[in-house]
Amino acid sequence: MKLQGRVAVVTGAGSGIGRAIAVRLAAEGARVVVAELDEGRGEETVSAVRESGGDATAIPTDVSRSESVAALYAKLDDLDMPPDVLVNNAGNASPPTPVHETTDEAWNSKLRVHLDGTFYNTREALRRMFPRGRGVVVNIASVAGLRGLPGGCAYSAAKGGIISFTKSVAHEAAAGGVRVVAVAPGWIDTPILAVLPDDVKAEIVSRIPQGRLGSTEEVAAVVAFLASDDAAYITGQVISPNGGLYT
């Protein structure tokens, strides 16, 4: 187990990619902290981790609020659980909307959860990683941040910001023994896509060279690799599991 004895904080781990990441990191030996806004879903992820033989605890967290994030890490201090790994996964989605019809609320919501949340958590985690001279931050971006997503200007801007944030902080953090990387998934089979009509999903799949959606477990596997010492010489990079959609 490549993460034995390490503490891994996973934000937005109540479902989908976040839950798969929590389960995979726990399977690699990490003590997982499920930082999830929805307390019920957070506990469901804890149950999933424990059913697979792992160790997890849930701490309700609103990543869009700096005070809530600060409280999360203060709780970890109290528990003597300084983070070794941080996975900034929390996000939100909404129906496609043209830019000229996008409201202030919709725009700000995406940036607060995705970009602000990544900043708040990274800031708190680094304050605890630097004194120990080690740590890994994995930011979940999206292929939308690499190539753009029509009807998703706010989402694409937030994910693109995460990619630039990753590259910037990686330069700063390297001297402190901390690696910072990003994972930019393509179309992944999550509950969000389950609401799409079959013809829309078929159109999406037709554009993917591998001819299928990715699985949450495949994304989690990439995260687990990057969080481990096997990726010790990788920092500031963006890895995009996307089935060939964007190369």
Long-range contacts of 69-73 (CB under 8 A, 24+ apart): 69/117, 69/120, 69/121, 69/124, 70/120, 70/124, 72/9, 72/33, 72/35, 72/121, 72/124, 73/124, 73/125, 73/127, 73/128
- The residue annotated as part of the active site, out of 73, 120, 155, 246, is 155
Distances (CA, A) of 201 to 130, 146, 194, 196, 198: 44, 21, 9, 6, 5
155 catalytic residue (yes or no): yes
Nearest to 120 by CA among 65, 183, 178, 42: 65
Active site residues: 155
